[in-house]
Amino acid sequence: NAGVTQTPKFRVLKTGQSMTLLCAQDMNHEYMYWYRQDPGMGLRLIHYSVGEGTTAKGEVPDGYNVSRLKKQNFLLGLESAAPSQTSVYFCASSEQGVSTEAFFGQGTRLTVV
Amino acid sequence: GENVEQHPSTLSVQEGDSAVIKCTYSDSASNYFPWYKQELGKGPQLIIDIRSNVGEKKDQRIAVTLNKTAKHFSLHITETQPEDSAVYFCAASGSSGSARQLTFGSGTQLTVLP
């Protein structure tokens, strides 16, 4: 039982490049989330999904897009990377929304130069 | 929206002593308050949570207290051990529904000195 798996673990991008972060969960959870973690700012919600085929904006959605074509996968895309998007990105999933335990992946460290 | 403030940002204690981390929240509709522990290079992991219908919850050396009137909640770790060293995050959420978001505090770096 792998839980939540993020791919890749590290990535360096040049300004203007695009990339997709993949999150996969094997717990059959309905809810999935993408957070970014910056020093001194905790975790901030980028986008989330309440089920297959649905997505919604979180606190800091600008510059990111997401897709949930399959229940077990949640993709985070950066169309044109900017240095301000340098961060550690965490994916999480939960069974029944934000009032139940969220299981986090190990994180993706992204640097935009 | 919800605003969660967490103090202190860093905390050092001697092994065996107690540690207390405090959080305040702004949304009176919040009714779920989890605490997450993040070890170096890993994702956060839930260690304890409390719901608004309960004032205190304990799990071995860890306890959480909630004061809904004052809108603050605290994490208490007793008999600290070196493996308790990590970053701890508090969070607050509204009623259990798909539109509510979990808002995190800024984190506390706890160091337990041997």
The pLDDT of residue A97 is above 90: no
Q: What angle do CA B7, B8, B14 make, to 5 degrees?
A: 140
What confidence score (pLDDT) does residue A108 get? 97
Beta carbons within 8 Å of A43's beta carbon, 6+ residues apart: A35, A36, A37, A90, B44, B89, B104
List per-residue pLDDT tens for chain B, 114 residues long: 788 999 999 999 999 999 999 999 998 889 899 999 999 999 999 999 999 888 999 999 999 999 999 999 999 999 999 999 999 999 998 543 346 789 999 999 999 999
Using CA atoms, how far apart are residues A18 and B108, in angstroms rounded to an integer? 33
Residue contact B100–A50, C-beta within 8 A: no
How far out from the chain centre does Cα B20 lie?
A: 9
Using CA atoms, how far apart are residues B6 and B21, in angstroms rounded to an integer? 7
Q: Write out the two tokens for A42.
A: 């905790």
The pLDDT of residue A68 is above 50: yes
Which among A77, A76, A80, A81 is positioned nearest to A92, based on CA atoms? A76
Using CA atoms, how far apart are residues A57 and B2, in angstroms rounded to an integer? 15
Show which residues on chain B lie within 8 Å of chain A, measured between beta carbons: 1, 4, 6, 9, 31-32, 34, 36, 41-46, 49, 51, 89, 93-107
What confidence score (pLDDT) does residue A100 get? 86
**B111 touches B10 (CB < 8 A):** yes
Sequential DSSP letters for B42-90 = S--EEEEEEETT-SEEEETTEEEEEETTTTEEEEEE-S--GGG-EEEEE
Chain A interface disruption, residue of B30, B98, B103, most A CBs within 10 A? B98
**A33 touches A13 (CB < 8 A):** no
How far out from the chain centre does Cα B50 lie?
A: 10
Residues of B in contact with A88 (CB under 8 A): none
Using CA atoms, how far apart are residues A83 and A91, in angstroms rounded to an integer? 21
What confidence score (pLDDT) does residue A2 get? 81
Å between A33 CA and nearest CA of chain B: 10
What confidence score (pLDDT) does residue B98 get? 46
Using CA atoms, how far apart are residues B29 and B100, in angstroms rounded to an integer? 10
What confidence score (pLDDT) does residue B99 get? 62
